[in-house]
Structure 1
Amino acid sequence: MLLSVVMPVHRVQGYLRATLESVLDQLPGEPELVVVDDGSRDGGGDIAAEFARRDPRVRVITLPEHRGAGPARNAGAAAACGRYLLFLDGDGLLLPGALEAVAGRLATGEPDVLLLGHDRVDWWGEVSAPVPAPAVPEPALPAPVPEPAPAVLVPEPVPAVLVPIPDPAPAVLVPAPVVMPPVAASPMGVPADGTGSGPAAGTAAPLAPVPAPEIEGFSTAVPCLVRRAFWTGHGLHFTDGPYADVLPLHRAVLLAADAGTLDALDRTCVRHRTRRSGTPATTPGRHHFAILDAYARLLAETGDDPRVRAARARHLRAVLDDPGRIAPEDRAAFHRAAALPGSYPAHRARQAALAAHDRARTSLGRCGKALGTGFTRAVYRTDLLRPLDPDLAVYGAYWNRGVACNPAAIHAKALELAPHVQGVWTVSPRYLDRVPPGTPYVVEGTLAYWRIMATATYLINNSGFPGGFTKRPGQRYLQTHHGTPLKTMGLDRRGYPAPTGGIGFERIVAHADQWDLSLSANPHTTEIWDRVYPAGYEHLNLGYPRNDVFFTAGPERTEEIRRELGIPLSRTVLLYAPTHRDHRKDFVPHTGHREGSVPHLDPERLARALGPRYVVLVRAHHLHGRPVRPSGAGVIDVTDHPSVEELCLASDALITDYSSLMFDYACLDRPIVSHAPDWDAYRASRGTYFDLLSGRPGDTPGAVATTEDELVDLFRSGEWCSPRTDRLRTAFRERFCPYDDGHAAERVVRRLFLSDEE
């Protein structure tokens, strides 16, 4: 086996799937992928186990507790079987063609270390210029032998070679070339220079050592392959704690360079994904001072090698200049401890500039035009000085469109379990008719609205609070979201032509920065949110409160809803709920519809074709605000019904295209039919996370139709509720409804209002 890729996994659930695929999609049969689950408490370990179940090239090693990247890499290296080791982070990427290029290079020789090119991509998707692998210097030649010279006897342990000199000169014994200064044995049990001990004390001074060639551009960011026998033979291993790679990787490169077994591949092979938050490398703090100890050990083990000193100066300067590593208040101390040349005033100036930037980001001016008049702004500023009300919670849903979704279910349960918390809803003046009688509310943009936004301790929303607000210390913001993502969301929308409704990605990230808690209905959702909304919130894998009713409502409630809708109990009820197509924005002449809401299905035609046994309920997307099509025979428009959950209960099956309603409906374990006439266009314009039409268990929820005629045939033939589609629905339900059990609202209320960590 040529290669073992060793990958530590900890808090990378949003990135790991793409990382694993980037390795496994390359050479068939290669490589071995050793994943080390370093005490993951997110979904990373489950994702790795999923890949191991379906691909024999993947092995998972599970550590009993979080040890850190260094010990995790050591565990993976000890279990690896390949001739070469490649250490790849769980959020990195192996670029296409990299393994083929590596295999081609190794076919011409077997270096001990092969350096690779790399680049970086940030959370905005901006890829840096490629950084080529450092140029490998030519091995230094031995120092010339001085002439004439008498024989010099060098005592052991330095070996001697006999060089015959033509007569009449006598034979001269010349010391073997010394590559590095003699140093004491390293703590790893191997001499730091890899050559042996120096001359004994009191002997004649040896010849000057050959100057070691500089390896320009090498740093621990440079990916490399290391021959496994070389790695183990020199006792190389990663250290504990931060900057665990400084010691072993520098030593490996220096040892290989001195032995003439260092090589480089002129190709960009690895992409480092820079994460905005959630990693020690991007979190300022004193833990970054560990780099000083790492280089101190490296200097000790390499005999104060000048190449290490040069690398140390470059690396420490980069760490000092990185605002994501050394906090402003620690910069002077780090500068002193690092003993870097130059003065600190320049760094103080940079610190002041960064502080000014941070103040600008949190400026009250971000509240924008929603604050209205100068009087409103002045009152809001005053309210921000008031103490927070510990028993006040603000709820909002669908950009203040009424009382609905997860926030509504949480509010209802809070009235039962935490009655001391007063809940108030924020509502747009256009949607006041959607507020149930007796529900406390404030109108968006009024003085009352801004007062509760300034003083409430709890903020609960499934989208966002329009107009922006200044989130105060002590406020707790729960983002409940309003669906499981099939289509791309957040930062993943970049690169797709579907517009974002005028919302910039900077605003998306700034909004996520306000969240303290993010609610999730399944591991798939948690994995996606972790990456597309990069911020420091906590995931709550507790299920969707709005789905509780699917487990608690009995048959009598279904019958009651049907009677309210005027549907005979003997009818088969089909709920048709298409999604919005945001890549189609123009109005269609003579219809009044926006193209994004133009139906791809004629409900009246469907009802006529199926006959009087069926009733079709038509529910338009909330962004359309009007029926998809007027009601006709066998068709009931339920767009304005206050509860989509009740409509689901009243139905026998769901017909949808790409709406996230399918994931919630799966809780009912009733048939789901996908009507997808424009799937290719939708995927190309908006992007999706899996292939809904693939027919694979877990991806496809049931029967699939791409035309109206196919849809009619599915119902006429009975395929819509066949054993095959039942099996698909079961797999879909297991994947996307694992947390939903009728108690999600209770879990959320206890966690948010009652501080119940369980």
Structure 2
Amino acid sequence: MPRFSVIVPCFKVQGFLRQCLDSVLDQSFRDIEVIAVDDCSPDGSGAILDEYAARDDRVRVLHLEENAGLGRARNAGLPLATGDYLFFLDSDDTLTPGALRAMADRLAETDGPDVLVFDYARTYWWGGTRRNVLARVLAQAGDGTFTAAGHPEILDLLMVVWNKVYRRDFVEREGFTFPPGYYEDTPWTFPVMFSAERIAALDRICLNYRQRRQGNILSTTSRKHFDVHAQYERVFAFLDARPELAARWRPFLHAKMGEHCLDILSKPDRLPPSDRAEFFHRTTEMFRAHRPEGAAVPAGLRVLEGSYAAYRVRRQSGRAARELERRTRPALAAAAGRLRRTASTVHVRRPLDPDLVVYSAFSHRGVLGDPAAIHRAARELAPHLRGVWVVRDEESAADPALLPPGTEHVVLGSAAYRRVTERAAFFVNNVNWPGTVAKRPGTVHLHTHQGTPLKHMGVDLLDRPGARHGLDVPQMLRRADRWDHSLVASRYAERVWERAYPCHFTSARTGSPRNDALVNAGPEDGRRVRERLGVPAGHTVVLYAPTRREYRRGGLVERLDVARLAADLGEGHTLLVRLHPSLATGPARGLGLTELHRRGVVVDATDEPHVEDLMLASDLLITDYSALMFDYALLDRPILIHAEDWGPYSATRGTYFDITEEAPGHVSRSYRELAWLLASGAWRDEEAARLRGSFRARYCEYEDGRAAERVVRTLLLGEPMPAPEPSGVPGARAVPSGRDLLPST
């Protein structure tokens, strides 16, 4: 008996069907059967199904003699299912890699619930991807099982059949089937969720929900949308037959029905104009007929107690108000801009404050990176200097990890922000200041950058159209024209920044202030971080830090299966995973990382604000092309470069040198090579030490542990201080653990 029966109804999907079937059959979890139902499709879908069935005995094809529609096609596949769980997959959608394994693991962990609800992402025809906006509902569901009554927020999710799997004996016992019609998911999902005694949630993106350019069938203009009334009548009839459920769920269903019908009516492309009044009247009749006795009508649904004419007046007045706002918004914004410019002109006449330093990092995220290191040194060496941080919002200001208590700050765009940026003598940032910050004569702008660059930056992106998508390079250079000093960690970095940003700044050979913590750290620093992250004592810690890809929309390319790597590392090892910051809020973590972190398979360290802490806590860095390698080399701990896609990456993004030829350690071109390097011990052999020593001498020559002090003394106070001597790195330490990272094979 297979674990999953995947039922795939097919009708006019020949362009998408192979991708759908491949996403199922290529899963690492193979204990499945696929029941493909050819719903008398007039295209080549049936032949494609027969082709797959001929080469994979897990596929069974049912050809219907007449077109039955989506719901009844699913019903046709039900009697053939023998799996523990039913999964109804639409034939133009796809599973994400590892989805079935994650589902199977979660089902086992929760001891076989009636229903497992998982997450999905919308994938658009133009290449964009957007995660379900209510993904938090799954994360908040907890580790165990629950009922819909115990966690009613689960019903706020899209009520469709394909974001869940269902225990087959539960479905058979309750007699659930699909009716015909447009909205056939409604009388399935609500009864299922109302009846299930044990529901589990999986906070992982398991399915890509394809958004076709022409939209789905529910976005077409047709009288078939009247079907929604009949489908809700079926759900009300289900509750009428189950008084124990009706008492709890009738008010909810009554409101949900009203919201759903009004949503259909609000879409201008759903109903023919001549049918809109009839649809409204049918909705109001149903709304009155099923209104629970004594129940209050929510404010948003009170329109269903009135006439269609009143509804139209309300809709038209709402549209008129929005149109007026749209038309007046530019004029209001222009007036506000004139007021700000007038105020700025007045304030610019005020004298500069020679002791005022304004700091920002990572687009006003908080006290981080090189600016944070400079600020700390300035408070110690020059306490008379007043340091003020710019933060993006009050939420950032309330996070002590981003803004330590007692740190003076202003919120971006506020009146206080304008006052300090108009009078400050010094500006310190690792990204460009907004264009609204004018450079006054006498001010000094220090640009720290965010590390030593491997990939092309600035004007070098002009011949890389894919890499500079969404970037205005000329504007970037106009903002860089405000720089007075560009901090560099090596002569290599100096040459690159002067080439990438042809502006009138002076390169300051100071080293990178944030890296003082790496050069000067003692063994206790890494130990404290390990304890905070929950790493067991004595574990070997591997930090995996991949960068984003410009050749893939969204930037995410999974070149390494972290679950497999964690399993291969085995006992006595902890795998820290840190995604590129630009991927932290996208769908990347929902594709498995969040779930692996919850289960303790890996530690998702993407949100750790101080990446230097992660470096100190780790024994080995595995990366592809992240600039983190230049900093990590200061620790004199092993680095492995996993360069499986070096060709497409270097061709699309552009790089200043070939990292596979001048690597800080051994290079792998496949997972097999990476596994061998770990298992054999080559990751820490003499050749690895030689490679990182050469790399460190070339790219870290000014990193002597006194960079922050040097910036404060020479650039803020104007005092003399010796420049760093180009050399190796003092105080470097070897890996504390002597173990191999993978068992020898």
TM-score of the two chains, using structure 1 as the length reference: 0.48
**Larger helix proportion, structure 1 or 2?**
2
TM-score of the two chains, using structure 2 as the length reference: 0.49
